[in-house]
Chain A
Amino acid sequence: MNWAPNPVSARAARRSEGFAGQPWAGQVRTAPGSWPPRGRWRGPGSAVVPPGVRPAAAAVSIGGAALIWLALLAPVITLLTHLSWHSIASALSYPGALDPLVTSVEAGGVTLAVLLCVCTPLAWMLARGRLPFQRVWEAGVLCSLLLPPLVIGLLLVFMVGPYTAIGGLLGHLNLSATNTFLALVIAEVYESAPYYVVGAQAAFSAVDPRLEQQAELLGDRPRRVFRRVTLPLASPGLAMAMAVAWARAMGAFGAVIIIAYHPYGLPLQIYTTLEQTGLPTALPYALVLLVVALPLPLAAYIWSARAQGRRRG
């Protein structure tokens, strides 16, 4: 997995956004040095491409990319077209309407903190290959990645439910992992952790171990090397992995509905509203979910793009 934005494709993406569906897309005259490059393309062994073919081909590829992009965005566009200010205001105005939002953000924040502290070291160890039977460790992460959320929820009942050893231990501490905030956090952690580990491992793998060696030879202890070299170099990738984990945590539903039906987070609020009062009242919560979940990944994306840009000087 590589989250680093490719400069060429990023540029192409910006262009296709600008020209999306525009009738003049094929007739664009590009400035020197811009994408697509000027000049006639000479294929392997082929003669000069006839004039007019290149702009047409460019138009087709940009148009195709725009179509796919729009198709991916279609649910978001649909959401926006089916909402009115009136329905948003009425759905969110009665007392306690925003409680699920607060619950979701709090649980998501705690989940991220747990992932950061617990899974970052594991991802680093996996990336550096310093564990015996490396493949076994990786296969384990993959297994947890492949478990359907609903199954995770069922298994969590067997793991931390009231009649299990862990459940009993929690009971002694006057805690419970069923229908509590703790249960919500546990469910979200289990749903998002594999995604974070895989992403973070890729981020650490992208750091050249020779740079770390160089830093050690220049006199830094491994911990300081991690802080001064490894972490800054991996941080754009780590930020993207956290963004993915955040999105998973905010949208966690399958495991949550089984082990943490209460307190309501946003996904459950959407589900119960849908069941009780129907689609139109559920949609505003979907918008809230989008608006709340989006800023962090967006900020992570912008920040990592900037970090890469700074490195290029």
Chain B
Amino acid sequence: MLKADVEVDRRDFTVRAAIAVAPGERLALFGPSGAGKTTLLEAIAGLVPPRSGTIELAGRILTRTGKPRVAVPPWQRRVGLLRQDPGLFPHLSVRANLTYARTASSVIQADVGSRAAGGTAGAELTEVADALGIGSLLAAMPARLSGGQQHRAALARLLLAHCDALLLDEPYSGLDAALRRTLTALVVRLVTERNVPAILVAHELADAQAFATQLAVIDHGQLLQAGPPDRVVLRPASVRVAELTGYLGLAAVPGNPGTVAGIHPDRVVADAAPERGLVLTGPVAASRPAGAGWEADILLPGAQPPGSAVTVRLADRPGPAGSEVTVTAIDPPLFGPDGLALADASAPRRENEAHAPAFERIGEGNGR
């Protein structure tokens, strides 16, 4: 179990968050750039001292600012951190990179040393390297590896270090989509196998969803909402969370003064279907092709702020600019005048798909 309840000072604001991740569970910290997500990870890793709070991992207290004061240094935390830059040591071969932790000075050494005594260390290296598809690259220098291979090697290095928690700081955001999916699926599988808590920092919602069993939305240092990804995405707790999770427009709800509905471009169907959600009618301001379908900006009488257009995505091409169009926002989240979600007993439901674990859908690929 990884628990963190901290306040960390940054130059411009203070990051406040309380999170708890069970072994084998995957938490995604989602928010815009500069929201304080990385700061939180670095506090957990011990690279940034929090102003106040407690960090606990697998029953050990890593940081406590109250009495008695505890500040376990990074080299004794047993926390693995993966950043966008794989961070392989350029002067060491891939093999030496992978075995770095085994020859390190700290606690981890004792643990790994006992394994080595059992004669399984070399076998484990081969096993992990083969599982990650870098078995044939052990003698190479990191500079010779492709981006995906470097990330695999960095992941293998963390696994061989036997960390108690895995922290991922947008590790794959520089890679192309296919490779990113493959590597994310790999991490998901390994976290499940090793049964360690994992935290992913993401500023793309799709990345966070592909990884997480829990989603936490952070903005400007504040933890706005946490919960299962579906719950957060379909029932954002506030207008700000809705904005961050992709609700591009707000529309007044007829008959409920002061109440607005969040309109997500992808959660809209053409024509009136009052039994499925909120029916919206207005003239088309502009439209453009978007992927296989169309994207249209619709001027709604009740749009918030007034006069703004609400963007929706449709399967069929809408009429020309100025023509009336009717769409239905499916089961939209509703917000009161204070910007907070209205109490809503109904559980979120996603009509067309069962929510299967992300990695099963993605499957195993080879990103090279």
Contacts and interface: CB of A to CB of B under 8 A. Distances in A.
Given A218-B101, A218-B157, A307-B91, A312 B74 contact: no
A313 B140 contact: yes
A186 interface: no
B211 to A, nearest CB: 20
Interface of B: 45, 47, 73-81, 83, 85, 87, 89-91, 100-101, 104-109, 140-144, 157, 161
24 contacts: A208-B85, A210-B87, A211-B87, A214-B81, A214-B89, A215-B104, A216-B73, A216-B75, A217-B45, A217-B77, A217-B80, A218-B101, A218-B161, A219-B75, A219-B105, A219-B108, A219-B109, A220-B75, A220-B100, A221-B75, A232-B91, A233-B91, A313-B141, A313-B143
Contacts of A217: 45, 74-75, 77, 79-81
A213 B140 CA distance: 23
A229 interface: yes
Contacts of A222: 75
Nearest to A225: B75
A218 B91 CA distance: 16
A224 B101 CA distance: 12
B143 A216 contact: no
Given A215-B104, A216-B74, A311-B90, 8 more contacts: A210-B85, A211-B87, A213-B47, A218-B75, A218-B157, A218-B161, A219-B108, A232-B91
A86 interface: no
A117 B141 CA distance: 31
Contact of A313 (B80, B106, B144): B144
A297 B74 CA distance: 38
A42 interface: no
Interface in A248-266: none
A220 B87 contact: no
Contacts of A215: 89, 100, 104
Interface residues of A, number: 23
Contacts of A210: 83, 85, 87
B141 A219 contact: no
Interface string A152-181: 000000000000000000000000000000
Contacts of A229: 89
A82 interface: no
A211 B104 contact: no
A130 interface: no
Nearest to B47: A213
A310 interface: yes
A312 B143 contact: yes
Interface string A272-301: 000000000000000000000000000000
A220 B141 contact: no
A60 B68 CA distance: 73
B90 A233 contact: yes
Contacts of B85: 208, 210
Nearest to B160: A218
Instruction: Count chain B CB atoms within 10 A of each CB in A208, A219, A221 and give the residue with the most.
Output: A219
Nearest to A219: B104
B186 to A, nearest CB: 19
